[in-house]
Structure 1
Amino acid sequence: MSGFIVVLTTADSKETLVRISKFLVERKLAACCQISSPIESFYIYKNKFENTKEWLCIIKTHKNLFDEVQKVIKSLHTYETPEIIQINIEDGDVNYLNWMKEALKL
């Protein structure tokens, strides 16, 4: 079974990620979303060094839904350029992957 992915995004508020997560799961675009405790991010944006507290959201979905997931993140996110990274799931527990398949709009 292949085609499942994890999408990562970060935000400066937990509330933004809760809104995105609820939207994705309710519409069966994500099987599960997990929001981590605050993390500290270091980066350069618009030629300026930034050090910010952010929350990380791990979105479990399928590659066939990635474009829709990306559109939702961009439409509900507060950042001008949100992080949206796709990571392929190479393998996993067959029962969990079957659950993901049932939970998604495939």
Structure 2
Amino acid sequence: MDEVCEVVITAPDPDWLVEFARRLVEDRLCAAGHNFQTIRSIYRWQGEIYDRSEGRVALHTRLALVPQIIERTTREHPYEVPCVVALPIADGNPEYLSWVRSETVSSPRR
């Protein structure tokens, strides 16, 4: 699968998230991570409403690598149920999309 997508992950510690994204780039699971140091998240968890600052990263990767990113995030993330969502990229700069493909592993590791 050569489709490219954007994977969004949030975390309570923006610095942890930057380092996590760096490890994903080093391991070629994504080509780039665009970090937003602070966002405001409002959510319901276990019957209570929370209003907290979090970090957010947008990763550019191959759709085929999303399961590995989800597994890794679930294993290493401080939250019990981390936010990891993949969004389709309908179109974009052909050279950039080609670069994303060239900087990521071509098939998931088994």
Fold shared by both chains (TM-score > 0.5)? yes
TM-score, length-normalised on structure 1?
Answer: 0.94
Count residues with an aligned counterpart.
Answer: 105
Instruction: Give runs of aligned pairs for residues 55-70 of structure 1, distance below 5 A.
Output: 55-70=55-70
**1:15 to partner: Cα distance:** 2.3
C-alpha offsets along residues 54-100 of structure 1, whole Å, 9 cap, x if unaligned? 01111111111111111111122100110011101111110101111
Aligned to 1:36: 36
Q: Report the Cα distance in structure 2 between the residues aligned to 1:52 and 1:26, rounded to whole angstroms.
A: 29
User: Aligned residue for 2:54?
Assistant: 54
1:24 aligns with 2:63: no
Identity level (%): 25
How far apart, CA to CA, are the structure 1 residues paired with 2:74 and 2:87?
18
Residue 80 of structure 2: SS of its match in structure 1? Answer: coil
For residues 16 and 55 of structure 1, what CA distance do their matches in structure 2 show?
9
Query: 2:28 is aligned with what amino acid?
Result: K
The runs of 5 or more residues in structure 1 that have no matched partner are none
SS at match of 2:16: helix
In 2: Cα distance, 1:10 partner to 1:68 partner: 17
Runs of 4+, deviation exceeding 2 Å: none
